[in-house]
Amino acid sequence: MDILEILRTALQQALGPQAIVFALLAIGLNVHFGYTGLLNFGQAGFALVSAYGLAVTVVTFGAPFWLGLIVAMIAPLVLAVILGLPTLRLRADYLAIVTIAAAEILRFVAGAVETKDVFGGSNGLSGFAGPFQAANPYSKGVDLGIVAFRRDDLWSLTVGWALVAVCCVLVWALMRSPWGRVLRSIREDEDAVRSLGKNVFAYKMQALALGGLLGGLGGLFLALKQASVVPTNYATLMTFYAFAALLLGGAARVLGPVIGAILFWFLIAGLGSFFRQSAGADGWIPTVIMTDTQASLIRYIVLGLAIILLMIFRPQGIFGDRREIAIDER
Amino acid sequence: MSADMTDKTDKTDKTDTGPAGLVGVSTEPGAKKPDPILVADNIVRTFGGLTAVDVDHFEIQRGAITALIGPNGAGKTTFFNLLTGFDQPSSGTWSLDGRSLKGMAPFKVARLGMVRTFQLTKVLAKLSVLENMRLGATGQRGERFWAAPFKGLWGKQEAEITAKADDLLARFLLDAKREDFAGSLSGGQRKLLEMARSLMVDPELVMLDEPMAGVNPALKQSLLGHVKSLRDEGRTVLFVEHDMDMVRDISDWVIVMAQGKIVAEGTPGSVMADQRVIDAYLGAHHDTDLSELDEEKLEAEVEAEIAQEEGSK
């Protein structure tokens, strides 16, 4: 077994574009769930409208790239208002139901045959990322010994991690402020916050929009990196991966979602590589127990188990504060 | 204890003559007050077939401490919820300082200066005691989204808020718990924190829902002092309470609710002598004259007897 190869695969993914996408999605979910207590199961929908906002503006309507970026930033805000207006006055679980449904509706609309002229159907849209690739200042890729990145990947990573850093600083600055205090208080008890004269609905809307925008940046980055948008990328699985990353890292911590996303992809890729080498004809696991196909899937079982164990033994995640969880609320 | 005693005798005199501002007010249910801060008319709230609240007319006097008492299920808390916007009545109008509160969101009611606490305390468990207090301050610049990331815009105000919070925490004997999570406080301390937090809003009218439930006797004395000092600061207090000692001790006026209606009101002395109130709520054996000192004497006697019995064994 080649341990270096496992490590290489794991690191490549942990530092790569996938980790960036899910870090951004999870930072958004952290604002929703970690700080405000809003259960958004449709983060993929926010990513979708942002990615398609760029693609449709540029490809379908032939508008300039910068206008596409602006549309990509506004689209998740609009979605937040549309979802929030009817549901934020209701109990938390309604938002969860509505967001997951909305994300699925958006995905089906984007992939539908009837809307092919606008959204490109199940093949999606491409050919909008030219200006992004053209802005690449690197002349060649980089080889760090154990991991190497090609020229275009290096550019994506630079932009992506810079974006993650900016988002983290923004979340940090917001959450240490009285504004952040109101959000955390809403998470604890809405009625108490109302009784002190705060407009809970307005704050929840702001939190939903901010978290949605951050998630949208994740979708936008994915679109730019791949230079295409495909509806299947924005399935519910995307949201749940982001939630897994958030819980792994620790909710209500600025760096929790980032570390979580890195770790999530490290484990997914590392375990994948490990089982690929272990199973099959030349592996040490006999085919009676595990075949090649099973080996590629077992990592999800292991990861699921890991998250279950984490929730039982360290519910605050890796970065969470034990004291915050230990308190018996009622 | 002696200071407390003289205080009590003062009160007894007061209840006989009627407190200032409330002298000569009729003791009919729904009586008009000389200077009402809160006026409610025809408030009806039904849950299905059950009428939880049905109040024809209700006024509370500005600057006075009014107690709302009544048996369990009388609709006191529901009435509180209705007045503060946390629940909407089936019909009725009510106003604070002549400003209608009908259909107004709870946070707007609070901004007008009418702040409530809850029967089941609502502390923000995973925030520190100090953060709980700071949240209560109104008009915070740093609570606006665009100003929030820039500490320069709200840092100074935050320091002022913190000073005010520390002052209140010291008054409520919670200063030692300043940095602790509110979730680690005991039930009685949570009551204190909630009351202190409501004062961060600088309310004109404070509505306390069972402030004494679960608070130990020593703390109770200081809480009574706090409530009285609210009146001295010119605030109005309306509270729901089952602790008759407290009601007798600090309230200027008592309103009795039963089955959703106001059945009696008046000074503490007159209400507690009212046969209907005794029947509906207090019970025939409640002893209005048993002061705490007497209770202590009685307890001491009983303890002495027990000790004697044990000694003779």
**Residue A110, domain CATH:** 1.10.3470
Give B57's strand partners. B41
The beta-carbon neighbor of B126 closest among A193, A195, A327 is: A327
pLDDT of A13 above 60: yes
Burial class (CB in 10 A: 0-12, 13-18, 19+), A73: middle
Least-confidence region, from A33-37, A138-142, A197-201, B298-302 = B298-302
**Which of A173, A196, A323 lies at the smallest CB-CB distance from B136?**
A196
Q: Report residue B31 as tokens.
A: 């009586």
Domain limits for position A216: 3-326
Which residue of chain A is at minimal alpha-carbon distance from B83?
A195
Which residue has better confidence, B3 or A151? A151
Secondary structure E strands in chain A: 125-126, 142-143, 148-149, 228-229
Cα–Cα distance, B299 to B288 (Å, whole number): 17
Other beta carbons less than 10 A from residue B173's beta carbon: 15
Window A:158-187, CB contacts with B under 8 Å: 170, 173-174, 176-182, 184-185, 187
Average pLDDT of chain A is 91
pLDDT tens-digit series, residues A158-182: 999 999 999 999 999 999 999 999 9
Least confident of A230-239, A265-274, B22-31, B51-60: B22-31
Whether residues B181 and A197 touch (CB distance < 8 A) is answered with no
Q: Is A16 helix (H, G, I), strand (E, B) or coil?
A: coil
Q: What is the 3-state secondary structure of B235-283?
A: CEEEEECCCHHHHHHHCCEEEEEECCEEEEEECHHHHHHCHHHHHHHHC
Q: Is B68 helix (H, G, I), strand (E, B) or coil?
A: strand
Which pair of tokens denotes residue A148?
């190497």
Chain B residue numbers touching A323 (CB-CB < 8 A): 181
DSSP state letters, A67-127: HHHHHHHHHHHHHHHHHHHHHTTS-HHHHHHHHHHHHHHHHHHHH-STTHHHH-GGG-EES
pLDDT band of residue A327 (cuts 50, 70, 90) is low
**CB neighbour class for A208 (10 Å; exposed up to 12, middle 13-18, buried from 19):** buried
Is residue A19 within 8 A of residue A13, CB to CB? The reply is yes
Domain count, chain A: 1
CB contact under 8 A, B142 and A179: yes
Is the model more confident about A105 or about A299? Answer: A105
Q: Do B84 and A180 touch (CB under 8 A)?
A: no
Domain ranges, ordered by start, for chain B: 2-123+185-312, 138-180
Residues of B in CB contact (< 8 Å) with A are 84, 86, 105-108, 110-111, 115-118, 122-127, 131, 134-136, 138, 140-145, 147-151, 154, 158, 181, 183-184, 194, 197-198, 200-201
Q: Is A241 helix (H, G, I), strand (E, B) or coil?
A: helix
CA B153, B159, B163: angle at the middle one, nearest 5?
A: 155
Amino acid B9: pLDDT: 41
**Single-letter residue type at A137:** P
d(CA B144, CA A182): 10
Cβ proximity of A213 and A28 under 8 Å: yes
The confidence score (pLDDT) of residue A329 equals 46
Closest CA to A234 of A43, A79, A27: A43
A89-133, pLDDT tens digit by residue? 888 789 999 999 999 999 999 999 999 999 999 999 999 999 999
Give the lowest-confidence range in A55-69, A296-310, B104-118.
Answer: A296-310
The encoded tokens of residue B212 equal 């004494």
Query: Is B210 noted as a catalytic residue in this protein?
Result: yes
Tokens of A42: 């449709």
Sequence-separated (6 or more) residues with CB below 8 Å from residue A26: A242, A243, A245, A246, A249, A257, A258, A260, A261
Of the two residues A324 and A77, the one the predictor is more confident about is: A77
Going by their DSSP bridges, the two strands B236-240 and B205-209 should be labelled as parallel
Expressed in angstroms, the distance from the first to the final Cα of chain B is: 36
By the CB < 8 Å criterion, does A220 face chain B?
no
Which CATH class name applies to B2-123+185-312?
alpha beta
- In chain A, how many H helices and how many E strands? 15, 4
ipTM: 0.87
Q: Across the interface, which of A176, A182, A324 has its CB nearest the CB of B135?
A: A182
Interface touch B149/A199, C-beta < 8 Å: no
DSSP string, A271-300: HHHHHHHHSSTTSSS-TTT--HHHHHHHHH
Exposure of A179 by Cβ count < 10 A (0-12 exposed, 13-18 middle, 19+ buried)?
buried
Identify the burial level of B166 via C-beta atoms within 10 angstroms of its C-beta, where 0-12 means exposed, 13-18 middle and 19 or more buried.
middle
- The residue ranges of chain B whose pLDDT is under 70 are 1-21, 24, 284-298, 309-313
Query: A195–B111: do the CB atoms touch at under 8 Å?
Result: no
Out of A63-77, A301-315, B8-22, the most confident range is: A63-77
- Predicted confidence at residue A143, as pLDDT, reads 86
Catalytic annotation, pick one of B59, B194, B204, B210: B210
What is the percentage of chain A residues whose pLDDT exceeds 70?
97
Nearest-by-CA chain A residue for B185: A327
Question: Which tens digits make up the pLDDT trace of A29-47?
Answer: 999 999 999 999 999 999 9
The answer to whether the Cβ–Cβ distance between B122 and A179 falls below 8 Å is no
What gap in Å lies between CA B150 and CA A174, rounded to an integer?
8
Alpha helices in B18-65 (DSSP H): none
| Mean pLDDT value of segment A82-87 | 93
